[in-house]
Each structure stands twice: as structure tokens, then as C-alpha cells.
Amino acid sequence: METALKKTLLSAATLVALGLAATAGAHDAHACLDDACTLQLLQPAGDAAGGGAIETPRFGSWGFDVAGMDTSVAPGKDFFAYASGTWAKNTRIPADQSSYGAFRALRDLSEARVHQLVESYKLGDPATGGDAAKIAAVYHGFMDEATIEKLDAAPLKPLLERVRKAGSHLEIARLMAARDTFNATLFGLSVSDDQRDPEHYTLYMNQSGLGLGDREMYLRDNFAPQRERYLAYIAQLLELAGWKDPQAAAQSVLAFETKIAEAHWTRAESRDRDRTYNPVPFERFDAYAPGFPWAEHFKAAGVDHGSVAVVRQGTAIPKMAKVFADTDVATLQAWQAFHAVDGAAPLLSSRFANAHFEFRDKFLNGQLEQRERWKRAVSLVEASLGEAVGRDYVELYFTPDAKAKMDALVANVKAAMAARLDQLEWMSPATKAEAHAKLKGFGLKIGHPPKWRDYSGLRIANGDVVGNALRARQFEWDYRRARLGKTVDKDEWGMTPQTVNAYYNSVKNEIVFPAAILQPPFFDPDADPAVNYGGIGGVIGHEIIHGFDDQGRKSDGAGVLRDWWTAEDAAKFEAQAAKLAAQYEAYEFPQLPGLHINGRTSMGENIGDLGGLTIALEAYRRSLGGKPAPVIDGFTGEQRFFLGWAQVWRTLWRDDALRQQLVNGTHSPGHIRAFAPLRNIDAWYDAFGVKQGDPLYIKPEDRVRIW
């Protein structure tokens, strides 16, 4: 069944699908526009190999797809259907995807362009041929299906042998720290900007270890079918690996992960920045979380030159250490063996890759068919040498004119935010002064980084698919761990230029817009300005507001985690935020009874949408210079503004993928995002004549007004 909803994938889904772990910081420094905080690879946009640059498609004659509307539906009844109903009726999710929409279509375009670039790189000696030869080796190695089928399970053997030799808790702990394998860990380590000292890098520790992603999948009764199928999948992979008594081992693995899930914090708890900065000196770990060989673990991870780890889930880590200590070695070995096979499976022969697809993509997300091999090959390249491809991507697809126009848009939206701050009646002068200082200090990155990653130290070999992936993992980790305690690189980007997304980084106090998102329907330099302000303007506003959402507001203009609010202002903010959470939690999904949006988990994104639209509308009005907006095709300027926003968030979902999003995602589904923030904006009611009695109507006194 297909559902009209917006795509917001599990974060780092591309890397997970290829058995590569995301290496971004584990804390909440990045607040992305969309859960896909990495390039997502989608259905083909034609064979992009060879030929000239791939052109960008346009939306209608003035930047909006009027033909996709269903004007028989009243805007106040179902604004998603009004803006995109005909599109939804006439669009089908491609068989190799679990959702489809505006984001996906634009990611298709980015994928096709990357594919064209990758196909242009010729095979040679990766040791002497530079980045192009390395990219070609990674890509063509994965495309050599015949060799991969012939190798079958051979690349797994050394990985499983390491697991079998890990015959004690100490050796398992060392294995958990290794990055040149696909094994699991209970304690995710990352190196990123210190939230208390943004000038330096520090070590973070995050709860981990769950193959189903979130604790709710293990503990709620309505996910029993997912647990049953997961149990069968564990046994299937262990059997493929030749593991002794796979059925009994699978039972032990699931029981172990369930105990870990019981110790885990909820997603809402894990995003509370008042609770997730807990520095623990290395020498105190044995007393803080006994039962785990911390010193050997840190040494095996290569971070023993540090002295402290900032623990995110402070009370969960000791409980997980105890579960580890109380679990027999045979169960821990089976757990590691399963995750090693699960991580490597997409890179192996069809019997492994198909098993992975059937569970991870088809069962959990409803995807009907495996993606074409070239798409998966491009995804592997992105995960291994993303910035090397990005360097060539921007030469073809990012113009100085696009950057100049984005600079102007951002400046206008920032000015609108400053004006909104001055107009706030609920905020005291003291807090306003701090807010203005933070806004003034906002950094801006558009298009691509000023310098590129050096991949000369990454060893790539022709024909070694699994080895290349493992060395890429280790290379990335070595790059990050070497920076521990050193000065932060302010020029670093958290996304490649070809990524269709955007983010706010609280520790750097900056907003970042990769080149690939600066295209229709988000941004078209030839489109009606109202549509651009509703699209990319709303996105700019969304990212700015992340600096002032329920968690971003806890850092100051220098990126330091500190409370700069008066108690009275904070209480007023929290009251409005709670009202917004209640609105989102009230939305129902009839095809998934009992499931709702988690208002606390998605709070920052929902505030970002509401506040972002509010200041983008203010910016659009300022851009008119006091002149009336023209009427185009019968639509006023403000109508076109709101339609531009709705067009960005139109998407179809498969029910299984929607379930995953509601449980694991931090963003509200897109058809909700298309209209939910509008219900709190008076101008939307005026623009479309929405009145009391309409299903989407909210009384003026009940509308949420934060920024």
C-alpha cells in the first residue's frame, strides 16, 4: 500500500545499507533538514554515463507544479491534497524504493550526475592514479558481479575467524572497538567538537548495539512481528556463516539485544542536551560502569591518548556494561558474528545480499525490488570517497550565480529573524540581547567546502570490494581519532556537495547548504520569488530556527552549551513547545493503528518548520519593497509562498517504511510537514480563506506562536 507522506529516511541509511558505519559525531551537533543525513540513492534518471552535464528539470512555468494540484479539495480540509493531490494519485513508488517524492526525485538527479562522473574515471593503479583511480577501483570492483559470486563467503572468513578467536570478555571488548571489521559495539565512540569548548575536539560515547535500531522495536507488543522476523534473519545469517547451532544462537542474540534495549534511553531522552553532556575521565570508567574492560577498549579504539569521554546516555552505559559482564562469551561471539555478516552482506554474493535485502529493505521498509547494481556501486563510492567525487561535481553543477543569490536570500531571512526577535512580546530584553548576539554570529556555508579531503592515505585495491570498504572505515576513523584534543577545523563540512539536504551545527553555530539542494523545487533562480521563499527560504529559516529550537537554544553564539535564558522566558517557551507537541501527536495514521508522531522526539524539527516558515514569509514580504506581489495564474504571492512549501514535502510512503520513520526518525512525515506548521500561521488562513469548521482550522488563541 502506498501512503501520501514525505520521505525522511533513517539517518545514514546509505552507509548502513552498504555495511559501512556512519562516522559523523554521535552527539547532536547536526540538525538536518531531513533524516537522510547522507546521499540517498534512488531510482534511475536514465543512464548518465557519458555525455555532457545532466540538466536540471523545472517545475511548471513559474516554479510550481500547478498540474499536480487537486483544486477540488478545499485547502482548509486537506492542504496536502489541495497542493499535490493529482500528483499523489498519478505517482507510484518505484519498486526499488520505499518512498518517493520531491526529495527523492532530486536525489535521483544527484545520483545520476554522480554516476556519470564515476563512469568517466578509468581503472588504473589506485596506488599511483590518484582519487580517480581509487574511485574507479571501488566502483568497478562492486560492479564485477561474477567475481563477487565466485568469491561467495571467502571475504567473510577472516572476519569470522577473528570472532571465533575472541574467547573472552576482554577480547570481545577489543573487537567491539575495531573499525576494520563490521562487528557491532555497545558503546559508539566518535570524535567531534566539544560542546563546552567548541575550539577543541573531544571524545563522545553513545549507546548502541541494537540491530533493530530503536529500543521500542524490542519492547512494544505491536512490534512482535518485526521481532519474530528479526529472529529468523539472525538465524539465517548465522547459518550462512556456518555458525554452530544457528537457531539457538539467534535466540541468545535477540535476548541479549533485548536486555540492552531495556537499558537504552528513549530517543526523546537522548536529544535532551541538558542531560547528554556527561564527561567521564578514563580513570573513572571502571567505577562508573563496572564490568567492562574500559582501558583495553579505549586502547583498541586508538583513543587512549585522550583522557575523557563525554557520555551521552549517562545512566544507560553502566547498565549496558553490567549486561555485557553477565552475558556468556558464546552469546557475545554469536552477536558479533551476526553483525559481521549483516554488515558485510550487501558487498557479498547474491545469497548474502538477497537475505539482507529481504529483511532490511523489503520486510522492514516495504521496498519491492533490490536497487540496480550500479546504484549500489555509486553508494559505495559515496561512502568511501565522497568528497573526491564532490570536487568534480561542483565544477559541473554549482555556479557563482547560485551562490550569490543564496547569499542574498540568507541575508534577507536573517534580517527577518532579527525583526521577529524585536517583535516578540513574550521574551524579555535580556534574553533578546543574547538571541540577537547568537543570530549575528551565525556562520554560513553554501555549495562546497573551501578545501577538500586528502585521500592519499587511503589504500584501495582493484578487485577487493570488502577490503576496500573496511579500509575506508578505518581510514575515516583514523582521520577523526587523530584530531582528539586538537583545535577544531572550522572549515570542515558534515555533508558532501552532492548531498540533497541541509543542516544546522550547534557547536559551530552555522547553517550549511550543499550544492545539490540548491535546485528545483527548493531553489530555481528563474522561478517566482514567492515559490523560492516558500521552498529554499523555508529551508533557510528552518535551519536558522534550529539554533533557537528546544535544544539548539541551549548553545550560545559561540557554540558553547550554556543556559542564556531567563527562567521566565524558558518557561514560556516550553509551554508553547508542549502545545506544538500535542498538535503533532494528535495526527493519526489509520493504516498503522496505535502509531503516532513522537512530539518530543520530533520537537526540534517541528519548531524548525513553524519558525522557519514564519521568518521566510517575513523575508518574502520584505523582498517586495512595499510593492504588491503580482497575481500569477490566479494565485496571490502568499498563496504561492505556501504552495512552494507544500511542494517540497510531497511524498508517497510504503506503510512499512512509514512505520520505521515513526519509530526511528526525528522528523514528522512529510504530508504532515506540508500543512501542520501552516495551521499556526495567521497569513495561511487569510491567503486561502480557511475558516472555523474546516478540519485544519485552529482557533487563533490556540495557535502556537514561538518565533
* pLDDT, tens digit, 9 for 90 and up, residues 588-598: 999 999 999 99
CA distance 83 to 641: 12
Q: Mind listing the pLDDT tens digit for each residue in 535-553?
A: 999 999 999 999 999 999 9
Residue 37: per-residue pLDDT? 52
Q: Residue 36 above 70 pLDDT?
A: no
| Three-class secondary structure of residue 2 per DSSP | strand
Helix, strand and coil percent figures for the chain, each rounded to 5: 50, 5, 40
Q: Is the separation of the CB atoms in 41 and 107 below 8 Å?
A: yes
pLDDT, tens digit (0-9, with 9 covering 90-100), for 86-107: 999 999 999 999 999 998 999 9
Question: What are the residues whose beta carbons fall under 8 Å from the beta carbon of 578, sequence distance 6 or more?
Answer: none
Q: For residue 353, give the nearest of 553, 145, 214 by alpha carbon.
A: 145
510-514 and 443-447 as β-strands: parallel, antiparallel, unpaired? parallel
The cell for 464 is 577487493
Q: Which of 131-145, 396-410, 444-458 is predicted least confidently?
A: 396-410
Nearest by Cα to 468 from 215, 49, 144: 144
pLDDT of residue 198: 97
For CA atoms 620, 621, 622, 627, the dihedral sign is: positive
pLDDT of res. 51: 54
pLDDT tens digits, one per residue of 411-426: 999 999 999 999 999 9
The residue with greater pLDDT, 152 or 406, is 152
Please report the pLDDT score of residue 44 as a whole number: 25
**Helix (H), strand (E) counts: the chain:** 29, 11
State the alpha helices, DSSP H only, in 66-180. Answer: 79-90, 102-120, 130-143, 145-151, 157-165, 169-177
Beta strands 201-207 and 443-447, pairing class: unpaired
**Given a cut of 80, is residue 11 above it in pLDDT?**
no
pLDDT in tens, 675-688: 999 999 999 999 99
Distance CA 7, CA 85 (A): 16
Crossing angle between the packed helical segments 400-423 and 429-440, to the nearest 10 degrees = 170
* 610 pLDDT higher than 60: yes
Radius of gyration from C-alpha coordinates of the chain:
25
* Structure confidence at residue 359 as a pLDDT band (50, 70, 90): very high
pLDDT band at 664 (very low <50, low <70, confident <90, very high): confident
Which pLDDT value is given to residue 225?
A: 96
Q: Which residue's C-alpha cell is 542474540?
A: 253
C-alpha cell at 3: 501512503
DSSP E strands, 266-391: 278-281, 308-311
- The bridge status of strand 201-207 relative to strand 99-101 is unpaired
337-339-344 Cα angle (round to 5): 100
Mean pLDDT of the chain: 92
Interatomic CA distance for residues 163 and 451, integer angstroms: 40
Domain extent listing, the chain: 153-347, 427-441+520-702
Long-range contacts of 178-182 (CB under 8 A, 24+ apart): 178/300, 178/301, 179/21, 179/301, 179/473, 179/474, 179/476, 179/477, 179/478, 180/470, 180/471, 180/473, 180/474, 181/340, 181/470, 182/19, 182/339, 182/340, 182/341, 182/342, 182/343, 182/344, 182/470
Q: What is the pLDDT of residues 234-276, one digit of tens each?
A: 999 999 999 999 999 999 999 999 999 999 999 999 999 999 9
Share of residues in the chain with pLDDT > 70 (%): 93
Q: What is the pLDDT of residue 10?
A: 26
What is the pLDDT confidence band of residue 12, given thresholds at 50, 70 and 90?
very low
DSSP secondary structure string for all residues of 361-393:
IIIHH---SPPPHHHHHHHHHHHHHHHHHHHHH
Q: Which of 27-41, 198-212, 616-630, 637-651 has the lowest mean pLDDT?
A: 27-41
* Planar angle of CA 412, 414, 416, nearest 5 degrees: 70
Say what the pLDDT of residue 72 is. Answer: 98
Q: What is the DSSP string of 637-667?
A: HHHHHHHHHHHHT-EEEEHHHHHHHHHH-SS
What value does the mean pLDDT take over residues 5-23? 33
| pLDDT at residue 111 is higher than 70 | yes
Q: What is the pLDDT of residue 53?
A: 82
Q: Is the dihedral of CA 328, 331, 337, 341 positive or negative?
A: negative
Name the helix (H) or strand (E) containing 1. Answer: none
Residue 30: band (very low, low, confident or very high) from pLDDT cuts 50, 70, 90: low
- The pLDDT value recorded for residue 57 is 86
Q: Does the domain at residues 427-441+520-702 carry the CATH identifier 3.40.190.10? A: no
- Residue 5: pLDDT band (50, 70, 90) is very low
Question: 43-66, pLDDT tens digit by residue?
Answer: 223 333 345 788 888 899 999 999
Confidence of residue 627 (pLDDT cuts 50, 70, 90): very high
Give the pairing type, strands 201-207 and 308-311: parallel
The per-residue DSSP string of 502-546 comes to -EEETTTTEEEEEGGGSSTTT--TTS-HHHHIIIIIHHHHHHHHH
Q: Which CATH code for domain 153-347? A: 1.10.1380.10
Q: How many residues does the chain have?
A: 707
Residue written as grid cell 558505519: 21
pLDDT at residue 23, as a whole number = 35
Residue 51's alpha-carbon distances to 46, 106, 139, in angstroms, are 12, 20, 19
Q: What mean pLDDT comes out for the span 136-145?
A: 98
Does the structure show a pLDDT above 50 at 519?
Answer: yes
**pLDDT reported for residue 29:** 56
> What is the pLDDT averaged over residues 17-37?
52
Worst-scoring range by mean pLDDT, 2-11, 161-170, 330-339, 485-494? 2-11
Burial 132-154 (b: 16+ CB within 10 A, else e): bbbbbbbbbbbbbeeebeebebe
The pLDDT assigned to 402 comes to 83
What pLDDT is attached to residue 653?
93
In contact, 66 and 335? CB cutoff 8 Å: no
Mean pLDDT in residue range 478-496: 97
